[in-house]
Chains A and B, each alone.
Chain A
Amino acid sequence: MPSEPSQRVEDKLFYNRYLVDSGRAHIKVRPHTTPSSRLLSMLKACPARCYELNDKGHVEVTVDGCIECGTCRVICEESGDIEWSYPRGGYGVLFKFG
């Protein structure tokens, strides 16, 4: 296989159109001292890389690039690790092709 590095997911998100609802994150991570294994799995499973580890070792979410697939809801909502809802009407990702 060719050895050139893969395209970064952050760059992929630039193709998309978003209407960001500033100050109203539709996903929130429950405050924690040690992240659960579910939360940690989101660092890799989120297709938009919205979940990241901060310098305190906590999992943080930035929803600006969220493509609203629901993977984190499926993995983390039931255990209470996150609070999950859809963005307000009209906000969020707006697919031109879908």
Chain B
Amino acid sequence: MIQERFDAIVVGAGMGGNAAALTMAERGLKVLQLERGEYSGSKNVQGAILYADMLEKLIPNFREDAPLERHLVEQRFWILDERSHTGIHYRSDDFNEEKPNRYTIIRAQFDKWLSQKVRDAGATVLCETTVTELLQDSHGRVVGVRTDRDGGEIHADVVVLAEGVNGVLGTGAGLRGRPKPDKVALAVKEMHFLSRETIDARFNLKGDEGLVIEAVGTISRGMTGMGFIYSNKECISLGIGCLVADFQRTGETPYGLLEGFKRHPSVAPLIEGSEVKEYSAHLIPEGGYRAIPQLCGEGWVVVGDAAQLNNAIHREGSNLAMTSGRIAAEAICLIRSRKDPMTAKNLSLYKKMLTDSFVIKDLKKYKDMPALMHTHSQNFFLTYPQLFSKAMQDYVRVDGTPKLEKEKLMLSSFIKARSWSGLFSDALRIARAWR
């Protein structure tokens, strides 16, 4: 199909791929980007929250024309049992700033916009093209890709693998393993449409203000997981995700969990009367630092979800993808400007630059959290939420029981459920993993 040779081929047009393609094209490289969807974004699923800082580094004036939904002024964190929620809410008028820090977005629309920037920068973007294989020479060096188009072999000096969490090319070429059931979560999501006024009223918002609710507790039925509700202009993104290994072990269904979350008495009134317009599912890399594969090799680099770059504790993924894509591109441009070949040794510059950035620093900080949450999921996602809810209810309900007696009962319920040593070791485990 394409006879010409490219400086770089980018596989995938999500956050990581677009950041890489844009950065390289802006610096004058001849870039080909391949995307299997009808348009950039048509295969991508995210919650979705956009962190401005990481996009600003790519497109400083993005606020002028990017399809942003609402800027976030409030964050709610809920611990749920069957009938109640205990919440921590943080709301600040400081977030109504000239250049807001976080926005909700709709990925398909956002990615289309970002893809146009990539084209404007001079990259060739070819959609409806699935890359089926990485081309390797006799030394195992990646020299290009094979696609599902006729005669679809294309050569380049370097291939940027931005193929997402479920990328098959890196695995197929033996460059990294498959995602493992205990290292990826499956999230399902629905888009609930309501009028803007209704959303404003239900969430106490005005103008373009937005809100995030993140929820853990009995909704995940003892599995490692989390629910989320994000407000957009005229719809609500609502979803829930749990580790694939937990679905496999328990036989719970993802849509069953979603329906349960929607029916929760704290959630149902927020979406009442809504019209659902899409149901989607996506894997989320949850293995953290210890699951990061080899990041580069002879003629290739891997970025974003495909490199398992996701901070599960802070729910940051797309910004790590965007940043890793940009850094990979910067490293490639630097190597090229020195007229050096795209060898594993030279491309390790990408790894070094990424290690020096917040991306790897943050993931390293939480390197023990994924394993902890997984091995103690019953305690963290079932027992404690139930105990918290019971304790809160006892605390606020006035029924003539002396307060001292209430406190003793509350404490004994925790000890009965987890024992002194259990409570102590849970606290210690979290403190250690968090540090």
Which residues on A are within 8 Å of B, measured CB to CB? 1-2, 6-7, 9, 12-13, 15-16, 19, 38, 41, 44-45, 47-49, 67-71, 73-75, 77-78, 84-90, 92-98
Contact = CB atoms under 8 A, between A and B. Distances in A.
Interface in B249-303: 251-256, 259-260, 263-265, 268, 276-283
B67 to A, nearest CB: 11
Interface residues of B, number: 62
A44 B256 CA distance: 10
A1 B282 CA distance: 28
Contact of B165 (A67, A70, A77): A70
A74 B283 contact: yes
B127 A97 contact: no
B280 A89 contact: no
Most buried by B among A47, A68, A93: A47
A49 to B, nearest CB: 8
A89 B278 contact: no
Interface of B: 36-38, 41-46, 48, 82-83, 106-109, 111, 127-130, 132, 147-149, 165-166, 168, 178-181, 184, 186, 188, 190-191, 235, 237, 244, 247-248, 251-256, 259-260, 263-265, 268, 276-283
Contact of A98 (B106, B186, B188): B106
Closest 6 CB pairs of A and B: A70-B166, A90-B128, A98-B107, A6-B259, A12-B279, A98-B108
Interface of chain A, helix or strand or loop or mixed?
A: loop
30 contacts: A9-B279, A12-B255, A16-B278, A16-B280, A38-B248, A41-B247, A44-B247, A44-B252, A44-B253, A45-B254, A47-B188, A47-B253, A47-B254, A47-B281, A67-B279, A69-B166, A69-B186, A69-B281, A70-B283, A71-B186, A73-B166, A74-B180, A74-B184, A85-B168, A86-B36, A87-B130, A89-B128, A89-B130, A98-B45, A98-B278
